[in-house]
Structure 1
Amino acid sequence: MPGRATPLARGRAWGRIRSKGLLGLLPVVLVLSGCIADPGPGPTVALSTAEASGSPAAPSTSTPLETTQATNKAPVYWIGRSNGNVFLYREFRDVPDQENPVTRALHAMMSDKPLDPDFFTPWQNPKKLATSISGKNVITVDVSADAFNSNLDGDMATRAIQQLVYTATAAAASSGLIDSGQQIQVTVLVDGHTDYLAFGRIRLGTPMSRVAGMVAPVWIIDPQEGVEVPGGSVKITGRSTVAGGKLHWQILQAEANGDKKPFLTGETTAAADAAQSGLFTLNLTLTSGNYELRVSQEDTSGNQQELNVDTRGFRVR
């Protein structure tokens, strides 16, 4: 539903500016290293039989399965950080149409860089990647072992595998290849074989589903990072995992010297009805310039912190 905008006085402190780069993304307990593996415990059990180990603050719901889209853009999930936790975030990407929708979405996930510099992927570009879908809504992904050439701890490996599950199911659903009204599972083969230990942590080969609590609590859908939109009325959409929950938002405008100043601020409420659960929409009047949008959930503790912030930079022409 539309939010309420209030101009802010020039010079008012606007809080934390989001950090850039990979190192700022990773909390202490979830380590991603290109070269050094942590000396943690042994393999993690298969995700089909165990919930992923999230922090206590992680939401208990997963994002609804994507609906059929009248676009060739591929839904791709990335990993990002919010308030010290690590979650999945989605972007829609332009991809070549030579392959089936699931294969090309996974290719993008493993070989491309996210548009948003706050996101990343631990996957490596594989030499071989193929996918198929059975009549029982099971997606089979057959990928070469070089895709797993990153040393991850158990928690990050869990998120990487769920990144693949979310991307594969999103691509199949948004392209209309599967019945989104039924349970959808993903089986991962490595070089045609089951029982591979992904990232040295996760045993593959059995069907896996989306694990609850993996998606970001607050998630800006449009505009995407770095895009240019027409001036005038700018429509912003997003999703919160708290249906009916209150959200705070802020627009910052970039000045000629690169500094950002407060421009608009307001509140909105995520939809509570089942059909639009958690969705929110803002219609803002913005003139030409570069902006950053910040959206966060309401802090009910009284500390007035920005909880589960998502940020997005875009340009208005």
Structure 2
Amino acid sequence: MPETSVPRGAARAARPSRARGALALLPALLLLTGCIADPGPEPTLTAISTAAASGSPGAPSTSAPLETTQSSNKAPVYWIGRSNGNVFLYREFRDVPEQENPVTRALRAMMSDKPLDPDYFTPWQSPTELATSISGKNVITVDVSADAFNSNLDADMAVRAIQQLIFTATAAAASSGLIDSGQQIQVRVLVDSHTDYLAFGHVQLGAPMSRAAGMVAPVWIIDPQEGTDVAGGSVKITGRSTAPGGKLRWQILRTAGSGDKTPYLTGETTAGSDAAQSGLFTLALSLSSGSYELRVWQADAGNGDELNVDTRKFNVS
């Protein structure tokens, strides 16, 4: 994903401790850090995530491509958001402290921060302890304390929370150049250095897991980020769709001081279909100073309904 820094926020959850024992038992791992923060069988993740991805109406069947190496030191963080009655993963790029390795700091932001966009949320709680490492076989090991899981979630939301972690960990490793993005990347989650933890009471952890198809949002706006200020004139807007070559419609609303919104510009664009730009879309809009809201969606060819809408508020100086 050749994408620049970017974008979204509200709900939360979870936490207990020790990132030493299990990592010591993994001599093949290249230890990145062991970072400590202040701050009745269940179906497996594979079974649940497959059902969730294929059983949700309107859920895309594609898997999200891995992020490519970024020159920016912003951390890619995935959040959970709702659209058209479905629940998907959306990504923002966040400023994070640099004292930890890229995977650890991205996961810490996911578990401890709030999304910029109020349409997104995270069910995770800030953990007492968190450590990550990467093996030579592209397996990321995350060792987190049990207090990170303190939210009360149903099975479907629990699956999405675990996928949120998997997407964030793999995105951070790929965008920072720590892994070979040309190979399959998996994530293994330990809780207090132990395997076989039942996350949120529903998802069995311990075995390596991969990104699940259909979890990523069908449409999301990359730039500008929620609430950011951009220079007037030609404002560049970028985003991504999981339907390469598909038609997208967009609308710009201008927001008055009273909060009232009025239509300002509308249009249509096509998501990129070539391999290097798969699903990407770009708009260059002439906007004067003021406050705006951008809306982008996939149009229903049958009845014109707005499908998988993503929105973004920003200011033009």
Q: TM-score, normalised by structure 2?
A: 0.86
Q: What is the letter of the counterpart of residue 149 of structure 2? A: F
Corresponding position of 1:310: 310
Corresponding position of 1:281: 282
Quick check: 2:81–2:90 contact (8 Å CA) kept in 1?
A: yes
Question: Is there any run of 5+ residues in structure 1 with no aligned partner, and where?
Answer: 1-20, 24-31, 35-40
Shift of 1:42: 6.7
Q: Distance in 2 between matches of 1:132 and 1:80?
A: 28
Matches within 5 A, 1:163-202: 163-202=164-203
Over residues 163-207 of structure 1, what are the superposed CA-to-partner deviations in whole Å (9 max), with x where a residue is unaligned? 000000000000000000000000000000000000000000000
Shift of 1:44: 2.8
Shift of 1:45: 1.2
Moved more, 107-116 or 57-66: 57-66
Q: Distance in 1 between matches of 2:182 and 2:245?
A: 24
How many residue pairs were aligned?
Answer: 283
Shift of 1:43: 2.3
Quick check: 2:48–2:159 contact (8 Å CA) kept in 1?
A: no
Quick check: 1:46–1:202 contact (8 Å CA) kept in 2?
A: yes
Matches within 5 A, 1:10-49: 22=10, 43-47=42-46
Shift of 1:56: 2.8
What SS does the aligned partner of 2:42 have? coil
Structure 2 CA distance for partners of 1:52 and 1:109, relative to 1, 3 Å: farther
Structure 2 CA distance for partners of 1:267 and 1:50, relative to 1, 3 Å: closer
Q: What is the letter of the counterpart of residue 45 of structure 1? A: T
Corresponding position of 2:161: 160
Quick check: 1:295–1:310 contact (8 Å CA) kept in 2?
A: yes
Quick check: 2:13–2:149 contact (8 Å CA) kept in 1?
A: no
Corresponding position of 1:11: none
Over residues 126-172 of structure 1, what are the superposed CA-to-partner deviations in whole Å (9 max), with x where a residue is unaligned? 00000000000000000000000001000000000000000000000
Q: Distance in 2 between matches of 1:256 and 1:42?
A: 55
Corresponding position of 1:13: none
Aligned Cα root-mean-square deviation (Å): 1.9
Structure 2 CA distance for partners of 1:50 and 1:255, relative to 1, 3 Å: closer
Q: Distance in 1 between matches of 2:47 and 2:174?
A: 20
Quick check: 2:218–2:241 contact (8 Å CA) kept in 1?
A: yes
Structure 2 CA distance for partners of 1:255 and 1:103, relative to 1, 3 Å: same
What SS does the aligned partner of 1:79 have? strand
Q: Matched residues, percent identical?
A: 76
Q: Distance in 2 between matches of 1:260 and 1:177?
A: 44
Structure 2 CA distance for partners of 1:193 and 1:88, relative to 1, 3 Å: same
What SS does the aligned partner of 1:47 have? helix
What SS does the aligned partner of 2:183 have? coil
Q: Distance in 2 between matches of 1:185 and 1:278?
A: 24
Structure 2 CA distance for partners of 1:193 and 1:219, relative to 1, 3 Å: same
Corresponding position of 1:88: 89
Over residues 22-69 of structure 1, what are the superposed CA-to-partner deviations in whole Å (9 max), with x where a residue is unaligned? 59xxxxxxxx999xxxxxx97231338962413031000122100000
Consecutive aligned runs of 4 or more in structure 1 exceeding 3 Å deviation: none
Quick check: 2:13–2:122 contact (8 Å CA) kept in 1?
A: no
What SS does the aligned partner of 2:147 have? helix
Structure 1 residue 203 corresponds to structure 2 residue 204: yes
Q: What is the letter of the counterpart of residue 143 of structure 2? A: D
Q: What is the letter of the counterpart of residue 311 of structure 2? A: T
Q: What is the letter of the counterpart of residue 47 of structure 1? A: T
Corresponding position of 2:134: 133
Corresponding position of 2:52: 53
Q: Distance in 1 between matches of 2:291 and 2:77?
A: 25
Shift of 1:253: 0.4
Q: What is the letter of the counterpart of residue 176 of structure 2? A: S
